[in-house]
Structure 1
Amino acid sequence: MNFFVCRLFCSYAILGLLLASMPCAIASDQIPGAPQRKPVLLRGGTIHTISGDVVVGGDLLFDGGKIKQIGKDIEAPEKAEVVDASGKHIYPGMIDSLSSIGLVEVESIRASVDTTEVGNLNPNVRAVVAFNPDSETIPVARANGVLSAVTVPSGGLVSGRAAMMMLDGWTWEDMTFKPDVGMIVNWPRFGAVRTGRGAAGEGESSEGGDRLAPLHNLIRESKAYGQLLDAEAVEAVDLRLEAMQPVIRGEMPMLVIANTVKQIQTAVAFCNQYQLKMVLVGGADAHLCAPLLKESNIPVVIASVYRLPSRRDAPYDAIYALPAQLEAAGVRYCIGTDGRFGASMVRNLPYHAATSVAFGLSESQALRAVTLSAAEIFGVADSLGSLDAGKDATLFITDGNILEIPTQVTHAWIQGRKVDLSSKHTQLYDKYKVRYERAPKP
């Protein structure tokens, strides 16, 4: 007995020493932007409005967190801050349509991953309340023009509700733009498939129908519960059924993660059967179901452009060309960054769009896929996604084309608040640059 007590004591002592030697978990160094207190006039830049024509040599005025005017030779209001944007480009903040930012810090460290709840049916789970405002991935993403993101839970059949978050603020409440943008449903896979939201499989089986039984039951129970709510006859509150009511009423879409043709077809049939609003997420085979998607007015959130082909017999550029194929078919779509490296790769959103340009999209269409199209699909286009008078002043300035890797973001604002563009990346760059500057000259 004494041996085991001694061994346990030694184990705790070693653990204590290890914890003491580790750096404490601290918040990111960047201070959130202060509310806008005076007008800001961006002078002489190339303005990519997205919703209209590109304005070369234009001015943009915003005040109180809202865009007031876009044009040329705008008179600067009294006490306005004038930013010289000559030779630079002005864009609306990009929106990542599918990510785990704020829910995952380091994917290989389980304690830093907060995406999944226990159980198969969790419609009451909300990503917004688990969002970490101090994640180091947030400054990295916004330093490349990604100023808003849809962050989603995962796991089970019904994972919970996704949220639209602004990438600046002190708390998750400060950073919430729209707390519930959709209910995440992981559509059953048919046959052997790869793992991950962006994967698709080869082969099919009849097992998917049985796997859908819990979802059928959930929808029926939610409808019955809604009738009791209307009649004020609910005896015991059920948080899961309460959470389903916006979906049942058509106020919130089901974000159905599906990739194969059979998955997509059965998901559309299911939503039509229960008259539910649907957004297809993933969509590796969406181009093969384009007529069905267009007829049913179902938009597609392309999980990622940087993906391998879904099948062995698919062309190497099957996913790279998917946005252009959906564009040609008249199917609404937007682009996200979900994939192998998770939240740390949100910063690469403009390069996902750029790759789609290399495989058929125009630059304007690619920019729309990561701005206005995303805003329209998630119901926030009245405030985000384009540069128009009356919309939020969520925008950034670059020294070149944002779709090109060498381009740097020089200024950014979220609802008029100036954003700190430093990050762990820039801090390490500045640190080690000094080392080489101090090195003896040969």
Structure 2
Amino acid sequence: MSPRLPPSPRRSGAATALVFAAALLGNALGSSEIPAPVQTQPIALKGATVHPVSAPDIVAGTVVFENGKITALGADVAVPANAEIIDATGKHVYPGLISANTVLGLTEISAVRSTLDVAEQGAINPNARVAISINPDSELLPVVRANGILTALTVPEGGLISGQSAVLRMDGWTPEEMTVRSPAALHVRWPDMKIDRTPRARKSVEDQQKEIDKAQKTIRDAFAIARSYWQARKTPGPDFKSDLRWEGLLPVFDGTLPVFVHADTLAQIEAALAWAKEAQLKIVLVGGQDAWRVAPQLKETDTPVIIALATALPSRRDDPYDSAFSNAARLREAGVRFCIATNGQRSEAAHDRNLPYEASMASAFGLPRDEALKAVTHYPAQILGIGDQLGSLEPGKAATLIITSGDPLDFPTQIEAAFIDGRKIDLSNRQTRLRDKYLEKYRRK
């Protein structure tokens, strides 16, 4: 019998990767938390400091909600006789936080491809819909809930026209139960405008510029073709043929679906604004790291900005160290509508729970504290078109709120209870279970 040769490095590496992936997937089968049942009786939160966000704070206030809606709030309101009364004396009540740029529900472990469903193949996918791909059992959803994030805009990635996002509740059995609004927006990812002029550049300056021009032309041509399709569809002739891609853009031209353009650098933002004017479209800017540089133009065109990461590093060597930290304050001073979000990358989905601290950083660099709170509650609700349902505590709005030990933008603050549409949410998650497990381990020593 001839001696067995050792496995090749390639085969050994592949086998190791498969074992590693299998181990990870074993922990990614789904969360064990059970979605909350529908609210069946009125609930009254009494004695807390109530922060409506859209109105002055109410000390020792009461919030009453029934059938998933807030029915009353104030210092002295009538409580239904059959209400469940929760004593919140010494606590604080805030609207649930809103994450306005994330891939929650589309990713689990960024290094394991089988847990990713964030992007379609190809550059032009306006018909791709996030809502049908959501994983309600994601382990990441309970984690963000535990830090007060109860609503999120889940966004598609990839290509130039990525698809349609959805506003989701962070609790539910199915994607349909989780959906607040779908589609919420069409997402365009403006091509990178940077040109590598170093000696190590893989392509010439001319070739790089050609690629940039080609990508921008692809976006313009797609919208031009879709507009022609929209016009032709109004009075279709015998030769008219339906195209699902262009069907996905029809709500844009009908004025019912906003266009969110992802752009960070000054060149990207200026090009996107010029295109929006040329195409006669109202857009929302997502990312906007250099938005403060064109604040007057954004104000003039009434272009809102979803700031993705208020804790980013400067984009240029000669930028002030706090250029990202003070971005929100500068936009506010210029009268530009804005909100604060995370960067929305698949690799950062596990850290979306840190959203309140992005706003906290902005408040440390010129943004008033009450504005920082609005930047993750009231303002994202308005920009996402759900301001009539969420973002503040008002009669008639959804009873989506949190009870806290203090300011939710502060690290030490604990989220003690959360309600989504009046349903009391389980705040346990994989991280809290691990914490309790190892606390018990050292307690026994």
Q: TM-score, normalization: structure 1?
A: 0.91
Residue 201 of structure 1 corresponds to none
Confirm or deny that 1:62 pairs with 2:65.
Answer: yes
Structure 1 partner of 2:187: 184
Aligned residue identity for 1:335: I
Name which of structure 1's ranges 107-116 and 117-126 shifts more when overlaid on structure 2.
107-116
Residue 151 of structure 2 aligns to a residue in which SS? strand
The aligned amino acid for 2:407 is N
In the alignment, is the contact (CA less than 8 A) between 2:28 and 2:108 conserved in 1?
no
Q: 2:283 aligns with which of 258, 274, 278?
A: 278
Distance 2:292 2:343 in 1: 19
Output the aligned Cα RMSD: 2.5
Contact 1:303 1:339 (8 Å CA) reproduced = yes
Cα shift at 1:334: 0.5
How much does 1:145 deviate? 0.5
Q: 1:267 aligns with which of 264, 269, 272?
A: 272
Matched residues in 2 for 1:175 and 1:339: separation? 19
* 2:337 partner amino acid: R
Structure 2 vs 1, CA of residues 411 and 101 (structure 1 numbering), >3 Å: closer, same or farther?
Answer: same
> Unmatched 5+ residue regions in structure 1?
1-6, 194-203
**Does the 8 A contact of 2:102 with 2:153 survive in 1?**
yes
Name the amino acid aligned to 1:118. Answer: Q
1:217 partnered with 2:221: yes
| One-letter amino acid matched to 2:351 | M
Q: Deviation per CA, 1:199-239, whole angstroms, max 9, x where unpaired?
A: xxxxx957533321111211111111111211133732101
Q: 2:44–2:79: 8 Å Cα contact kept in structure 1?
A: yes
CA distance in 1, matches of 2:210, 2:378: 39
The alpha-carbon distance between structure 1 residues 280 and 348, as it changes in their structure 2 partners (threshold 3 A), is same
Q: Deviations over 1:225-265 (max 9, x none)?
A: 11121113373210110000111222212111111222111
Given that 2:48 and 2:89 are in contact with CA atoms closer than 8 Å, whether structure 1 keeps it comes out as yes
Aligned-partner Cα distance in 2 for 1:298–1:75: 42
Most deviating of 208-217 and 424-433: 208-217
Q: Which moved more, 1:205-214 or 1:333-342?
A: 205-214
DSSP-derived class of the 1:401 partner: coil
* Shift in Å, 1:167: 0.1
2:368 pairs with 362, 372, 382, which one? 362
Give yes or no for the alignment of 1:144 onto 2:147: yes
Structure-2 separation of matches of 1:29 and 1:256? 36
Q: CA distance change for structure 1 residues 20 and 101 in 2, over 3 Å: closer, same or farther?
A: closer
Tell me what 2:358 maps to.
352
One-letter identity of the residue aligned with 1:51: S
User: Which residue of 405, 412, 423 maps to 1:399?
Assistant: 405
Query: Any conservation in 2 of the 1:104–1:342 contact (CA below 8 Å)?
Result: no
Match of 1:438 in 2: 444
Is residue 292 of structure 1 aligned with residue 297 of structure 2?
A: yes
Q: 1:25: Cα distance to partner? A: 4.7
| Equivalences for residues 197-216 of structure 1 within 5 A | 208-216=212-220
Runs of 4+ in 1 over 4 A off after TM superposition: 17-22, 204-207
Query: 2: distance between equivalents of 1:325 and 1:316?
Result: 15
Q: Aligned equivalents of 1:155 and 1:27: distance in 2? A: 25
2:251 corresponds in structure 1 to: 246
Give the Cα separation in 2 of the matches to 1:242 and 1:270. 21
Provide the rounded CA distance (Å) in 1 between the counterparts of 2:194 and 2:370: 38
Alignment of 1:276-355 (within 5 A): 276-338=281-343, 341-355=347-361
CA–CA separation in structure 2 for the residues paired with 1:250 and 1:167: 28
Please tell me the residue identity of whatever aligns with 1:350: P
Aligned equivalents of 1:330 and 1:209: distance in 2?
A: 32
Q: Deviations over 1:74-126 (max 9, x none)?
A: 23212211111111110001100111111111112222121111101010111
CA distance in 2, matches of 1:231, 1:401: 56
Q: Is the contact made by 1:353 and 1:367 (CA closer than 8 Å) also made in structure 2?
A: yes
Q: Distance in 2 between matches of 1:207 and 1:332?
A: 33
TM-score by length of 2: 0.90
- Look up the match of 2:425: 419
Distance 1:63 1:90 in 2: 16
- Cα distance between partner residues in 2 of 1:206 and 1:120: 17
Look up the match of 1:41: 44
Determine whether 1:82 maps to 2:88. no
Matches of 1:192 and 1:84, distance apart in 2: 60
1:4 corresponding residue in structure 2: none
Amino acid at match of 1:35: V
Q: Distance in 2 between matches of 1:76 and 1:54?
A: 20
Q: Counterpart of 2:443 in structure 1: which amino acid?
A: E
Q: Unpaired segments of 5 or more residues in structure 2?
A: 1-6, 197-207
Q: Aligned to 2:96, which of 82, 87, 93?
A: 93
Matched letter for residue 144 of structure 1: N
Q: Which amino acid aligns with 1:152?
A: V
Rounded Cα–Cα distance in structure 1 between residues aligned with 2:390 and 2:221: 37
1:306 Cα shift?
A: 2.1
1:333-353 deviations in Å (ceiling 9; x for gaps): 001112664211111111111
- Which residue in the other structure is 1:198 paired with? none
Are 2:114 and 1:108 aligned? no
Give the AA of the match of 2:305.
V
The residue that corresponds to 1:197 in the other structure is: none
Q: Distance in 2 between matches of 1:434 and 1:23?
A: 24
Q: Could you tell me how far apart the structure 2 residues matched to 1:138 and 1:77 are?
A: 33
